[in-house]
Structures are given as structure tokens and as C-alpha cells.
Amino acid sequence: MNSRSAARLQWLQDTLRAEGMLPIAEAAQRCQVSEMTIRRDIAASQDTIVSLGGRLLLAEHPQVATGYDFAAQQDSFAQAKQRMCDEAARMVEADDTIFVDCGTTLIPLFAQLDPNMPLTVVTYALNVANAIEQMALPHVRLVLLGGLYYPVSQSFGGEELVTAIRRLGINKAFISAAGVHVDKGVSCFHFHEVVPKQVALETAVQRILVVDESKLDLVRPAFFADLETFDVMLTSGAAGEALRDTLVARPGHAWPTLKVL
């Protein structure tokens, strides 16, 4: 980030603390730059500023914050998430259709994509759609699947969503989780996330699990897949190395290819 971008971000943060909300168009006018420049600044803000419906807000704003604390989750193991998303971006190919689930783990992925790469992104998560909108990626076609909205995870659910996923040709499904256990499988906090994740895994040609080390050896309430369901797993840290040793010591399973980053 250059000094001018840093200065604009500081001004935006100060202004949003004072005013609460600022339209992107007004921010661009007051900073004397283009709206695309403002969106790029926001994409580099480490998620302290978010865009909702063309308006800028601080991440701690009551309209953004929910019981599942997205700001805290974004900050948790941020460097590990960045490394994993760097690797995930290298797996994406031109003209792919990729599925990205809800949560915060995969948000850094979009800043790592080649802006000139033609790509279709399928998601049921509002925060994922907002991240793509902030990046202003001209060659990305966004498919935002709707239904009943769940503020706790900023995502949608319902039978219509499941039907829509099954009708799509998905090359790669990037899936996050809140818990990964060798014997008890892969799980998340919210039961409404289970079916969309499962249907995406059934539909995709390649299935990639992306979880940082803090999620390993944990079991959460909503089980959605066995570990063997995945083709590739991206993780981090000493706990990731320990998991690799565990999988090596237990042959005879179709374990995913494990990359510790």
C-alpha cells in the first residue's frame, strides 16, 4: 500500500467514525479519485471497512456486526488465511466456475486472483459477494444464490438455493469449516450451512478444504462431510504438520492431498 492509499484509508476511517456511513461515490468525490480507486483501497483495508449496497461502513458498525463476529474472525489467523488463499488462487484457472462458501477464511482469495482472468464465482454468502464487488473484478461473473437470509453467517439458505447449485457445473468448490477431526469429520457452527456445502461437494469436480490450524482436531455441532470427501486440504501451522503425520500413520484411507502453508 502506498502512502496516498494509506492516507485515504485513514481519512475514510476517521470520517466513518464521525459520520457512520458514506456512499462510495461521495467518498471518491471527496478524495478526488475514481470509485475503483476507493474500492481498491477498501480491499487493502484488512476488512476494517466494508461495502454494503454501495455504502461504506466500519466493520464494527451495528449494521455489519452480528453474533458471529466477522471482524474478529477476519483478524484471527489472518496471515495463515492469506497464505492459504494465495495457494487457493494458484489453483484457479481461466474460465473456471468456482464455489465459495460463507465465513471469512476465503475472503482474501479475491485479492489474489488475476484481474484479467475470466471466471464465474458461485456463492450463497453476502460477505463473499461484497468482497468481489469491492475488488471491481471486470471479468468475474458473480452468481449470488438467494433464499432465506441468516444474519448470523451473512448467508442464504433454502430449497431454491440447493436446486440452483445442482443445476450448475462447478469446477472447484472451496469449502471452509469450523472444525476438522480425523475420525469425526468436518463440521461448522450453523446447521443451515450444511446442505449447501454438501450439495456443492456433490456437484464439484474438485473439492478443496481450506482451514487454518485453529480449526484442527475440533468437532462443531453441524457435521457436513468426512475428511476423505475432499481432494485437497489447505491448512497451516504446527497443528497442520501434526495432522499430516497422523494421516501418514493411517494408510488405507482416501485422505486429501494435504498442504501445510
Give helix then strand counts, H and E, for the chain.
10, 15
Check pLDDT > 50 for residue 230: yes
The mean pLDDT of 56-83, rounded to a whole number, is: 63
Give tens-digit pLDDT for 103-116: 889 988 988 888 88
Looking at residue 21, its pLDDT comes to 82
Give the pLDDT band of residue 68 (cuts 50, 70, 90): very low
pTM, two decimal places? 0.74
Looking at residue 53, its pLDDT comes to 57
45's torsion region: left (phi>0), alpha (psi -120 to 50) or beta?
A: alpha
Give the pLDDT band of residue 67 (cuts 50, 70, 90): very low
Give the pLDDT band of residue 44 (cuts 50, 70, 90): confident
Looking at residue 156, its pLDDT comes to 92
Q: Across the strands, what pairs with 58?
A: 49
Task: Give the residue with greater pLDDT, 73 vs 180.
Answer: 180
Q: Across the strands, what pairs with 98?
A: 121, 172
Query: 169: which DSSP letter?
Result: -
Check pLDDT > 60 for residue 65: no
Task: Give the residue with greater pLDDT, 54 vs 166.
Answer: 166
Domains, the chain, with CATH or none: 3-65 (1.10.10.10), 71-260 (3.40.50.1360)
Do 225 and 194 meet the contact criterion of CB atoms below 8 Å apart? no
